[in-house]
Chain A
Amino acid sequence: MIILKSFRLFLILMLLTGIIYPLGIMTAAKMLFHDHSCGSMVTRNGMPVGSALLAQKFETERYFHPRPSACDFATIPSGAGNQGATSKALTQSVRERASKLLASHALPLTASIPADLLLASGSGLDPHISPEAMDFQLEMVARARNLNPEKRARLRKLARELIESPQFGIFGEPRVNVLLLNLALDDL
């Protein structure tokens, strides 16, 4: 008897929490926040080029680069390196990233690099970099695009404008969305 009753209760609650609830939320989400519920897609010339929330790979020096991704920006599945403070592998990749960055930015060996460009993100898809990391890459991008001084000034201004401050002035850290920055850069 207890088994039968439990089974019936389970079925009802399963229906309620596994079908009605998620579908109800979906209906509300589509009505209230349609774009958000479908992945916050960004379009250019009517074509989707990515999600504003997910980092994508940028390799050429014409674009700002997102933070290192231990899973190489894979989305299915995403992942992190999970290396600890005494990991030889992590120490080595940090060194390699540093020398690569210094070379591509034509900087002396003593130059300091923003930490978020040396250390990989948690999701492997962190869409943001710190404002310092953006400043750090400005020169590389401007050089790769052969920008004249006037355009350089505009790029600098644009970059300033794209810094997101902490949400509501309180939560989180100041940051720059790399994809949105790069799209704005192409329109410069």
Chain B
Amino acid sequence: MKIMDIVQISLYFGILGILTLLLGSYIFRVLGKDRQGALDSFSRMDNAILRLVVGGRGTYEMTWKEYAFSLLVFNGIGFFALVLLQLFQAGLPLNPQKLPDVPFWLAFNTAVSFMTNTNWQAYSGEAVMSYLTQMLGLCVQNFLSAATGMGVLLALARGLKRQSAKTVGNFWVDVTRTTLYVLLPLSIILAVLLVSQGVVQSLAPYATVKTVEGGSQVIPLGPAASQIAIKQLGTNGGGFFGVNSAHPFENPTPFSNFLEMLAILLIPAVSVYMFGLMVGSRRHGACLFAAMLAILLAGFIVAWWSETRVNPMIGSPCWMEGKEIRFGVMNSVLWGCVTTGASNGSVNAMHDSMSPLTGMIPMCNMMMGEIIFGGVGTGLYTMILYVILTVFLTGIMVGRTPEYLGKKIEAREMIWAIIGILLPSAVILVGSAMACLLPAARSSVANGGPHGLSEILYAFTSATENNGSAFTGLNANTVFYNLALSVAMLIGRFGVIIPVLAIAGLLVSKKAAPPSSGTFPTTGVAFVFVLIGVILIVGALTFVPPLFLGPVVEHGLMLRGITF
């Protein structure tokens, strides 16, 4: 542990906090204000688009079912467009490397992955995807999947705020505004900053050079900066190049690393502040923020501690395998925690090669349901499911009907909330168990012993929770993994979105009651502690057995010098 490490960590969280405050009221003004024409000075552009594409009645209000249906249709169209682009890329323009069409199962998996904001990648971009596929296919889904997540959060917040209403907003309006006023402006700023650090942005074919010793080296290029900006801001995480943000063309300097790391948590953190403003309780927003930050920091401390212990392979406290010199150990571990806390999934170091306990922390972060700030929109709406569970449990303790922000939480809301929380956990456990039983699936594993189990567990966790990072040793480009992980991604995405929208629809029709003496306050220290407790018990305890069989056992074996 060095002084400069502490300085960088403090700067990171300090600037994140300041940006949250600065951008919070802006994003509330452009997205969260609950009335037509709230944008005043901005409204012309999105109104023009909406009039053009959805007609004069484009901005009518939707019930939760209409909202969900529009969302599914919109995502479905994006999915098909992306599949087609990949399947026919060889014959399409902007393919200077003459890359062949993407095989069907890989194209299917990739399309699901980018539509669900997972950005799991069973391919290396520079060797498989044409410039056109990257720009027009993957980059577009980076925007739209993030905007979709934000839409669901906005609908949920309206469900909590509106009284005795029927509708939760308009999906097309939410997607358009999120894209136009949040994702695009921030991406433009970040992309230009990234190019200034050395991220490539070019449509020229790959260059071939004669190296100093006389060999030849191919220098890959592509429209990378524009895609990397939105990949971080939209908590997507899919690399333009195969090794993701460890690649010097994606993340060339320590400062680009800092900017990208900020971008990963920025919108999820700002959303918490916006949510507080939307539901009229800034303090509730602050409490949610505090709970998220506490879990993130706790995990980071464990991971950092483990990564600064003696590495038995070389006999000194240095874990540089799979890491880059310019970032060093601390920045690699912090990135690992941040990218899995948010459902981003880009990596600047290979998680597979981290010390066993360090590698466990990203898994834990994801297993809790991607709620440590989480993905754009998704993080907070999944967190609200935990909040509903928390007020329900405390309500039971005092024998009152639980309520959240004044709205009664009843059986139907609870059923949906439990589905949204438990369904992903079930998919992770069942999927991993299946892969362990199938010889074809086991043969994809790159590491022997308990680490092999970790690779499988990590894959299903990452896919289901829509993270997208990986223990990359696992060869996931097989029919089994392409298919099984696609199913996991779909359930993990829409198996939470539908319950959340249903809850929004149920709550929006209720009228908030003033708090009584039996109401469990959703602000204050007690709430934060109970919420963290519920998250740990429900989210983390579910996974204690496989985590012991994987990383914890591996840690013990490593200390005894056993290798596989």
Contact = CB atoms under 8 A, between A and B. Distances in A.
B69 interface: yes
Nearest to B318: A115
Interface in A16-69: 16-19, 21-22, 24-26, 28-30, 32-33, 36-41, 44, 47-54, 56-60, 63, 67
Contacts of A116: 318, 320, 325
Contacts of A56: 211-213, 215, 217
A119 interface: yes
Given A58-B212, A58-B213, A119-B314, A10 B74 contact: yes
A81 B136 CA distance: 31
Given A10-B78, A57-B215, A122 B323 contact: yes
Interface string A66-99: 0100000101111111111111101100100000
A5 B54 contact: yes
Interface stretch (A124-132, A143-151, A152-160): A124-132
A170 B446 contact: no
B226 A26 contact: yes
A87 B447 contact: yes
Contacts of B352: 80, 82-84
B197 A36 contact: yes
A84 B135 contact: no
Contacts of B219: 39, 41, 50-51, 54, 75
Contacts, number: 362
Contacts of B125: 77
Query: Interface size class for chain B?
Result: 35 or more
Given A78-B124, A171-B8, A87 B257 contact: no
A86 B192 contact: no
Nearest to B350: A80
B253 A21 contact: no
Interface of B: 4, 7-8, 11, 49-50, 52-55, 58, 66, 69-70, 73-74, 77-78, 81, 124-128, 135-137, 139-140, 142-144, 172, 175-176, 179, 184, 187-188, 191-192, 195-204, 206-207, 209-213, 215, 217-221, 223, 225-227, 229-230, 241-243, 246-249, 252-255, 257-258, 311-314, 316, 318-328, 331-332, 347-350, 352-353, 355-356, 359, 446-451, 454, 471-473, 554, 557-558, 562-564
Interface of A: 2-3, 5-14, 16-19, 21-22, 24-26, 28-30, 32-33, 36-41, 44, 47-54, 56-60, 63, 67, 73, 75-88, 90-91, 94, 115-116, 118-130, 166-168, 170-173, 175, 179, 182-183, 186
